């Protein structure tokens, strides 16, 4: 698929993978974990935070005197945010939290991470593979334990959050290891009922995942869209391997959505419009099993809805719909340069010739 447009990204990614490998990285991570010490979180900062929440970065940094910080923060929060302490693993409030919402700095309310990018690293600390925005945190060199680490701090108040390591999952390969006590959590609104904060997952294969990602990202109620590979036999496949057709994977968009705002049926309505479900292993000039039309269901309810939807859609098509309806299998996120491809490459020839007209047509 479109190899001419992503070769630079692939070379960079391969170079980074080489740089990250080897005993040096393993030693660095081991030493970093060995020296981590203790503290825990019990509360949240109140003073002046209400009018700060939701910011990404302020022109003037949020500043307090040391006496004000000590008055406003709990002892545990002060130790971590202002004295760069570390809580004990598996003791913080959020290390095993799976609620949907936004994590903000406990010192000033600056949004720093989302639940959509949170994952279980096994470390005992809240872990994320990217911040909510690039300018939400700052990075600083840290040599405090005799080894070089990268400290992460709130970009708005310089509060210590934790450290970032290069042993995280795709697509970034990073693990933002954060102290629970440095965070407050803002759950998604529950105004529409008990389930309004609960996210569900939908996974679709509809040809080039650059196209499907760009379309589904426009929908209200969609929390996030990532692209990757599903339905194959190879563990952690690369893009080049998938393109051979030998791994059995399909290019897919995986969608996290709020069912109180948008239903699975509504997602399917757009799925049928964004690709041709009657062409076997092909979408336009893109040919191969990786471009097959597929619905990977995550529940029996999704399966039933998909089967009914195909019956209804078949009446609108002269040719037979060849879309697969199969249970979801292990999902592998694609390389970083594939994520948000249209947003990051709107002037690329493929984006201008294929994706932009499709988005315009769907308005």
pLDDT, residue 348, reads 93
Residue 201 pLDDT greater than 80, yes or no: yes
Give tens-digit pLDDT for 251-310: 999 999 999 999 999 999 999 999 999 999 999 889 999 999 999 999 999 999 999 999
Average per-residue pLDDT for the chain: 83
Task: Please tell me the chain's helix, strand, coil percentages from 3-state DSSP, rounded to the nearest 5.
Answer: 30, 20, 45
- What is the torsional sign of CA 175, 92, 257, 236? positive
- Does residue 208 have an active-site annotation? yes
For the domain with range 200-362, which CATH number is right: 2.40.128.280, 3.30.1060.10, 2.60.40.10, 3.40.30.10? 3.30.1060.10
Give tens-digit pLDDT for 20-72: 444 443 334 343 443 333 333 333 333 344 444 333 333 456 788 999 999 99
**Two structure tokens written together for 283:** 């979408």
pLDDT, residue 100, reads 85
Calculate mean pLDDT across residues 202-225: 93
Q: DSSP state, 271?
A: H
Q: Please answer whether residues 226 and 129 qualify as being in contact, where contact means their C-beta atoms are separated by less than 8 angstroms.
A: no
Give tens-digit pLDDT for 131-145: 998 889 999 999 988
For the domain with range 21-187, which CATH number is right: 3.40.50.300, 2.60.120.10, 3.40.50.720, 2.170.150.20? 2.170.150.20
**Two structure tokens written together for 186:** 């803002």
Q: What are phi and psi of 314, to 5 degrees?
A: -60, -30
Catalytic residue among 64, 157, 177, 211: 177
Catalytic residue among 108, 208, 211, 351: 208
23 or 346: which leads in pLDDT:
346
pLDDT band at 126 (very low <50, low <70, confident <90, very high): very high
pLDDT, residue 196, reads 52
Residue 110 pLDDT greater than 50, yes or no: yes
pLDDT, residue 170, reads 84
- Does residue 154 have an active-site annotation? no
pLDDT, residue 198, reads 79
Least confident of 50-54, 116-120, 347-351: 50-54
pLDDT, residue 276, reads 95
DSSP helix/strand/coil, 318: coil
Q: Please answer whether residues 345 and 5 qualify as being in contact, where contact means their C-beta atoms are separated by less than 8 angstroms.
A: yes
* Residue partners of 138: CB distance under 8 A and separation at least 6: 152, 153, 154, 155, 158
Q: Which helix (H) or strand (E) holds 239?
A: helix 239-243
Q: 293-297 and 324-327 as β-strands: parallel, antiparallel, unpaired? A: parallel
pTM score, two decimals?
0.50
Domains in the chain: boundaries: 21-187, 200-362
* Residue partners of 225: CB distance under 8 A and separation at least 6: 213, 216, 217, 253, 254, 255, 256
């Amino acid at each position: 698929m479109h190899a001419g447009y992503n070769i630079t990204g692939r070379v960079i990614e391969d170079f980074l993978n080489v740089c990250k490998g080897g005993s040096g990285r393993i030693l660095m991570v081991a030493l970093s974990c060995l020296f981590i010490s203790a503290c825990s979180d019990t509360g949240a900062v109140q003073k002046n935070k209400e009018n700060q929440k939701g910011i990404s970065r302020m022109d003037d940094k949020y500043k307090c005197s040391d006496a004000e910080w000590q008055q406003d923060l709990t002892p545990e929060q002060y130790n971590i945010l202002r004295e760069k302490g570390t809580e004990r693993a598996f003791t913080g409030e959020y290390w095993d939290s799976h609620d949907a919402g936004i994590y903000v700095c406990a010192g000033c309310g600056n949004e720093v991470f989302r639940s959509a990018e949170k994952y279980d690293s096994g470390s005992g600390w809240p872990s994320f593979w990217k911040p909510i925005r690039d300018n939400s945190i700052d990075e600083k060199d840290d040599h405090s334990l005799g080894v070089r680490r990268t400290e992460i701090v709130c970009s708005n108040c310089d509060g210590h959050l934790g450290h970032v390591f290069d042993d995280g999952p795709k697509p970034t390969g990073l693990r933002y290891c954060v102290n629970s006590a440095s965070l407050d959590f803002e759950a998604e609104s529950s105004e529409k009922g008990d389930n309004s904060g609960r996210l569900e997952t939908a996974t679709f294969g509809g040809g080039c995942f650059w196209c499907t990602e760009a379309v589904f990202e426009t929908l209200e109620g969609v929390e996030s869209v990532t692209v990757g590979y599903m339905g194959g036999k190879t563990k952690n496949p690369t893009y080049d391997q998938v393109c051979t057709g030998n791994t059995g994977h399909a290019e897919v968009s995986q969608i996290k959505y709020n069912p109180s705002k948008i239903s699975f049926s509504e997602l399917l309505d757009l799925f049928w419009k964004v690709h041709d479900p009657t062409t076997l292993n092909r979408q336009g000039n893109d040919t191969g099993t990786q471009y097959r039309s597929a619905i990977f269901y995550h529940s029996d309810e999704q399966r039933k809805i998909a089967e009914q939807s195909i019956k209804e859609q078949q009446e609108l098509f002269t040719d037979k719909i060849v879309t697969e309806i199969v249970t979801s299998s292990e999902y592998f996120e694609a390389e970083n340069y594939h994520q948000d491809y249209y947003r990051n490459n709107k002037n690329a020839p493929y984006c201008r010739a294929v994706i932009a007209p499709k988005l315009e047509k769907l308005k």
